[in-house]
Structure 1
Amino acid sequence: MKLQHHIKSTLGWCLSIGIKLLRVVPFTTITVQITTLASQIFLLLAFFLPLKVIILLGSEKIPNYFPSAFQALKKNHLIVSLSVAAAVCYVLYLLSELLIAYCCRQGARTLLLRSAKLNIIENQEKIAAYAYSRFTRAMAGALFFSISAVVLLIIYPKLLAIILGYTALITLLCVITYNLSPVIQVQFQRNHGNILNALSATGFLLSFFCLVADFLYFPHQRIFHAVIAVLVMRQALQRLTGMVQDVVSLRMQHRQINAMFFQSQPLLEQRQNNHQLECLLSPSSREAWVEKLMDQAGIDTQNGLKISWHQIDAVDVYAFHITILGNEKPQEYLAKLFGNNIATLAEQERLLFQYQPHLPSLEWLGHYLLQGIDCHLFRLDGHKKLIRRQIGDGVVAISEQLLYCEPASELILRFSRTRPYLEQRLDRGMIEPLRFVCSTPEEAEKVERLLDSFELIIKKLCALPRQIVSLDITSEALLISASQQYHLSHWSNWRIEAVGSNWPVIEKERFYKAIEIARSSRPSLVNTTTADIVLSAFMYSFERFLLRKDYPAAFKLLDDILAATEAEKPLELRQESAQ
């Protein structure tokens, strides 16, 4: 859409919102307008009067261009009076801002009550008050600019003509530039605030230079009018810029605002369009981009290929099963396309494969860009999805292989700089609510024992070696090879935690066996006790239950957590806890 069409539709939307506010909450809206204008005038005076005081301090007498009413006063009395007036204006400005905030909350609450709707979004009243505040401030900004224009018309019409001419010219140039190129449109949309501030500052400097030139080459009697004109001009341009920024910001949320303030408009969320991705997903264009992908990967497709959908169960990730036909056994590949809004997840998966070998994963063939879309290519030969009875074994098998795998030092370093570990996320405040849901003294006693052992648990978790944890172990992502080896097809959401984390705790016996096998293959586990690794697994599950407020499930883990914690306690600590 061209910029002039955006401006036209935005002006119409602002008009409808303004009529709605004046019709539903007229007194509040008018009060906010008047108070906002008063606030801006007080602020202007609070900065203008100290300037006059500085001029007086630097002169021997009251300058002749000061108003005649000031000439009758003594210089020191005038300095004190202007200083006190500046302080009073600033206090009145602060009081005006408090009144504006109160009126905005009341006005938004009235609008929400009048619309008589269910809660549409979280923190609806706060968001409505914010929207009401910004819109009324934008209205006040427009009114302030209009009044400033009238003042300039009276005291300095030449300056007003320069400002209006500059504003019209810049608006025309912005419209033409915006309509020329999609690249420029993106820059306008992303950096409209910086662009508007730069244009406002440029307009002020241009007008100021014109004013200076006017005074240099043409005679003027009233320099005091020029000082007032400069201050009014600066404030007017700032209010105009603020008004446009407020309107643009509100327009970007117009669906939510319409739904909150208008009875007849439900909340209609705009679907994010990604034309490049939609083009790649289209059946009519799949073969073309798959051939291009395979050509980039150095895979021959002359004998033909077959493409079918492969469900991943990950949001905004789209996968395809690609079979390359040939005289011998067909070759199978998996191509995953990542939406632009989850490019970070694509980078996380790419980073993991770059630094970490020996993962229970499909063979990764590389990362490619297709029309700006991230694509990861894997070799899929012989892999099939699991049937229902294999899923449990598959989850345990992946957990076992991750337990055996020593994380790369580069991954540990990067993760530690980015996210907290389990022991850093845990705190006593998470456990305290368990006290309130205890039904028996025995349950309360277990919670107290856990709290007493909290520092020891944290110490044990800190001392454990690390392991990679995958949060993408789902029935759709689990695959089994022809040799009955379990692998995972998706690795975008991974963490690094204390070894043992994310193990399915119901599989205790297999866990003990896996720990012994891991100890023989990972030197870092040689001096690590089994009880500490088991403690890590239970604390990881314990945290997840607490975050979900599933306190009964968390209670069920207390016996195992306390047993693992106290298994390696020094003798004196065990005796103290028993007492």
Structure 2
Amino acid sequence: MNLFTETTSFWGWFGTVIRNFLRIRPWTTLAIILMASASRVFYVLAFFMPLKVILLAGSPGVPRYFQFFITPEQKTAWIVGFTLGAIACYILTMILDALVDRLALAGSAQVLRQAQVIPLLNNQQAVVQGYYAKFCGICADSTFVTAGLLVGLLINTQLFIFVVGIMVFFYVFTAFFARSYDQLEPRPLAAYIRDNLLNYLKVLASLVFLSSFIVLLIPLLLSEDANILAAILSIIILRQLAGSLVAIVKDTVTLAGARHRIDALVFKDIQLQEKEAPEEVVFRELFNKRNRNQRAEHELGRVMALPAKPDVTWLDPVIPGVSYFAITVAGEQAAEKRHYRMDVYSPKHLQKLEHEAFLFSHVSRSGLHAPKLITQYFAGSFQCQICEAGSGERPTGADWGALQKTLIGRRWGHSPPPGLVAAYCSSSPLLPQRLDENLVSSMQVAVDTEAEADNLGRLLEKLPVIREKLEKLPLYIYNPDLQPHQIMLAGDGEPLVMTWCRWSLEPLGAGIPINLKEVDLAEILDTVRATRNDVSAELAPADILFAAGCQELERMIRGRRYKAALQQAAKILTGMA
């Protein structure tokens, strides 16, 4: 990124927008800029005058830097005057800020009417008001900074020449490192500026202030004729200039990022076209065909010998924030072909991979029919995980029914270890805790008939019994992604469950597919009893269906499908009768 080019482009666009504002509401826009500028000046005076009061009141006579306009007889009157002036300046600051907000609302409304824009954004009027206020605020801050520098040059020329110089230096310094910014592999400082802009600006403002303070302090230490009042005023101006400059940069970055929306809201001949998220731009570049093949070859080559270059192909994703790629490595013979799958987790969804890793820190991958992990690595800010994918074949529709029953039986037969249960329960509620009175009562809004009111009342009455019954059911490791598209077949036909990033602990029966019948459940339970001591002979298919119905009830309520949830509640209550 070339900061000089970006700066020139922004200020050119900024001027175009401001001219449009001045054309639509000239007096309102000018009034906002002037009042906002005056507010900043009064704010400086509100803090400067109390210091004058302290200097006057704390001196036995009149300090020499006040003697040209204050006599000893007038000292008390001036102390009172400065005190009242400080209070008045602070009050004026608050009044002007309130007027600026009201005028910004009126001005932004006229801008929208002039542009004849249909509703494009949520709370559009407030959004436009915010943009309008930021444009006027930048003008006011720029005016204040210019005036502050001019006043500073008059009262302390050397100091403020130094201030201008160090600000130019920091701008060039930032431009130098920003030019090396690569979205795919950003250097540390460039990435820090991108991700922590406000902190970076505060650091620069502090450095400007502290270095200027040292420059200001030197004459005071070396000369007895230094003007203390001018030094104090210089410090106050410096502090306010630093704050205004930080506000200017922060607001310019915000406006530049929203430029496509602002143009559509301000100019009637420009349509709104949402920009592609920066994360998506980086993803497309990182994982285009050439780059993903090269990266896969490099990462796999670090952990194994490759007989041929891997071919990485796109797979349509099914889990938000996770992208899939199939990796094929050809062998000398067709039977020697290797298959892998690469799961790519976006920066905002890395928790899913951590969630899976936590599971496998307590349970072996083979115990859950998870594929062997080959390697993990970062590509930019995306984390990639490559696992074996068996033969590269998925189960067919004809085979899925029987395989599904087998997988459910194996999942139920694998008792979660006590350490995993304790860790999970310490941070996440189980179904009996989630299905509480607050959740169930949220259906009240959908009650329209006496029958529905009766269902809800009986459900609330029976809720303690329902929760107690759920608590007695054994737990198992539930995987909502136990679907054909997440199953690969190993060379021996054994299934590999490719992802566990959304696992949870649920009572037996929760999440079962609707096509399973009671006879199928009875067969599965017979198999499970052979491997789990906590599955008693009294546990019947009806108990399994009860847990499944309760989880479905929760899912309906959380999805705001209250009518369906009331019907589901009636089924649960009928089954308990």
Whether the 8 Å contact between 2:325 and 2:342 is mirrored in structure 1 is: yes
Spell out the pairing of 1:446-525 with structure 2 (5 A cutoff).
446-458=455-467, 461=470, 466-479=475-488, 486-504=495-513, 507=516, 509=518, 510-511=520-521, 514-515=524-525, 517-518=527-528, 520-525=530-535
Asked if 1:546 corresponds to 2:557, the answer is: yes
Whether the 8 Å contact between 1:479 and 1:486 is mirrored in structure 2 is: yes
Q: 1:495 to 1:29 in 2, by over 3 A?
A: farther
Whether the 8 Å contact between 1:306 and 1:323 is mirrored in structure 2 is: yes
Whether the 8 Å contact between 2:289 and 2:312 is mirrored in structure 1 is: no
Paired position in structure 2 for 1:133: 133
Q: 1:558 to 1:484 in 2, by over 3 A?
A: farther
Paired position in structure 1 for 2:232: 227
Q: 1:462 to 1:185 in 2, by over 3 A?
A: same
Whether the 8 Å contact between 2:412 and 2:508 is mirrored in structure 1 is: yes
Q: In the TM superposition, what whole-angstrom CA distance separates every residue of 1:198-220 from its partner, at most 9, and x where no partner exists?
A: 22222222222222323444574
Whether the 8 Å contact between 1:382 and 1:482 is mirrored in structure 2 is: yes
Asked if 1:381 corresponds to 2:387, the answer is: no
Whether the 8 Å contact between 2:219 and 2:226 is mirrored in structure 1 is: no
Paired position in structure 2 for 1:267: 273
Deviation at 1:4, TM superposition (A): 1.3
Q: In the TM superposition, what whole-angstrom CA distance separates every residue of 1:406-452 from its partner, at most 9, and x where no partner exists?
A: 33455545545655544555554544453343343222101111223
Whether the 8 Å contact between 1:293 and 1:370 is mirrored in structure 2 is: no
Moved more, 122-131 or 61-70: 61-70
Q: 1:365 to 1:200 in 2, by over 3 A?
A: closer
Q: In the TM superposition, what whole-angstrom CA distance separates every residue of 1:160-187 from its partner, at most 9, and x where no partner exists?
A: 3222222223323332343357514323
Asked if 1:537 corresponds to 2:548, the answer is: yes
Paired position in structure 2 for 1:247: 252
Paired position in structure 1 for 2:359: 352
Spell out the pairing of 1:46-125 with structure 2 (5 A cutoff).
46-56=46-56, 58-61=58-61, 63-66=63-66, 68=69, 72-73=73-74, 75=76, 82-125=82-125
Deviation at 1:374, TM superposition (A): 3.8
CA RMSD of aligned residues (A): 3.8
Paired position in structure 1 for 2:342: 336
Q: 1:159 to 1:537 in 2, by over 3 A?
A: same
Letter in 2 for 1:157: T
Whether the 8 Å contact between 1:520 and 1:526 is mirrored in structure 2 is: no
Aligned equivalents of 2:527 and 2:169: distance in 1? 76
Aligned equivalents of 1:25 and 1:425: distance in 2? 55
Aligned equivalents of 1:235 and 1:49: distance in 2? 15
Moved more, 54-63 or 487-496: 54-63
**Residue 117 of structure 2: SS of its match in structure 1?**
coil
What is the TM-score normalised by the length of structure 2? Answer: 0.82
Aligned equivalents of 1:498 and 1:57: distance in 2? 76
**Residue 372 of structure 2: SS of its match in structure 1?**
strand
Listed as ranges, the gaps of 5+ residues in structure 1 are 568-579
Q: In the TM superposition, what whole-angstrom CA distance separates every residue of 1:210-266 from its partner, at most 9, and x where no partner exists?
A: 223234445747532332222122212221122112212332332333333333132
Deviation at 1:521, TM superposition (A): 3.0
Which of 401, 422, 447 is 1:438 aligned to? 447
Paired position in structure 2 for 1:406: 415
Paired position in structure 1 for 2:212: 207
Aligned equivalents of 1:257 and 1:130: distance in 2? 11
Whether the 8 Å contact between 2:341 and 2:387 is mirrored in structure 1 is: yes
Aligned equivalents of 2:261 and 2:436: distance in 1? 37
Aligned equivalents of 2:146 and 2:552: distance in 1? 63
Q: In the TM superposition, what whole-angstrom CA distance separates every residue of 1:19-43 from its partner, at most 9, and x where no partner exists?
A: 2333334344333323322332343
Q: In the TM superposition, what whole-angstrom CA distance separates every residue of 1:136-156 from its partner, at most 9, and x where no partner exists?
A: 322221111112123223333
Aligned equivalents of 1:452 and 1:493: distance in 2? 33
Q: 1:187 to 1:527 in 2, by over 3 A?
A: farther
Letter in 2 for 1:406: S
Whether the 8 Å contact between 1:39 and 1:96 is mirrored in structure 2 is: yes
Whether the 8 Å contact between 2:328 and 2:339 is mirrored in structure 1 is: yes
Paired position in structure 2 for 1:166: 166
Which of 293, 312, 317 is 2:323 aligned to? 317
Aligned equivalents of 2:426 and 2:86: distance in 1? 49
Paired position in structure 2 for 1:576: none
Q: 1:59 to 1:96 in 2, by over 3 A?
A: same
Which of 158, 183, 186 is 2:191 aligned to? 186
Whether the 8 Å contact between 1:291 and 1:301 is mirrored in structure 2 is: no
How much identity, in percent, do the aligned residues show? 23
Aligned equivalents of 1:545 and 1:318: distance in 2? 29
**Residue 490 of structure 1: SS of its match in structure 2?**
coil
What is the TM-score normalised by the length of structure 1? Answer: 0.82
Whether the 8 Å contact between 2:371 and 2:498 is mirrored in structure 1 is: no
Deviation at 1:558, TM superposition (A): 0.7
Aligned equivalents of 2:546 and 2:60: distance in 1? 82
Whether the 8 Å contact between 2:553 and 2:565 is mirrored in structure 1 is: yes
Q: In the TM superposition, what whole-angstrom CA distance separates every residue of 1:491-525 from its partner, at most 9, and x where no partner exists?
A: 33333345543233564624465456545533455
Whether the 8 Å contact between 2:202 and 2:246 is mirrored in structure 1 is: yes
Aligned equivalents of 1:50 and 1:111: distance in 2? 41
Aligned equivalents of 1:11 and 1:29: distance in 2? 18
Aligned equivalents of 1:259 and 1:21: distance in 2? 14
Letter in 1 for 2:568: L
Q: 1:244 to 1:286 in 2, by over 3 A?
A: closer
Aligned equivalents of 1:58 and 1:200: distance in 2? 32
Whether the 8 Å contact between 1:346 and 1:492 is mirrored in structure 2 is: yes
Asked if 1:150 corresponds to 2:157, the answer is: no
Letter in 2 for 1:366: I
Whether the 8 Å contact between 2:33 and 2:140 is mirrored in structure 1 is: yes
Aligned equivalents of 2:441 and 2:450: distance in 1? 15
Moved more, 212-221 or 191-200: 212-221
Deviation at 1:196, TM superposition (A): 2.0
Q: 1:123 to 1:479 in 2, by over 3 A?
A: farther
Aligned equivalents of 2:265 and 2:315: distance in 1? 40
Aligned equivalents of 2:48 and 2:433: distance in 1? 52
Asked if 1:367 corresponds to 2:378, the answer is: no
Q: 1:481 to 1:211 in 2, by over 3 A?
A: closer
Whether the 8 Å contact between 2:390 and 2:488 is mirrored in structure 1 is: no
Whether the 8 Å contact between 1:297 and 1:365 is mirrored in structure 2 is: no
Letter in 1 for 2:554: E
Q: In the TM superposition, what whole-angstrom CA distance separates every residue of 1:33-85 from its partner, at most 9, and x where no partner exists?
A: 2332233234333333343444455444554534735854464x665655554
Aligned equivalents of 1:138 and 1:129: distance in 2? 14
Letter in 2 for 1:548: G
Q: 1:285 to 1:432 in 2, by over 3 A?
A: closer
Letter in 1 for 2:325: A
Spell out the pairing of 1:281-300 with structure 2 (5 A cutoff).
281-284=287-290, 288-298=294-304
Whether the 8 Å contact between 1:333 and 1:377 is mirrored in structure 2 is: no
Aligned equivalents of 1:400 and 1:135: distance in 2? 64
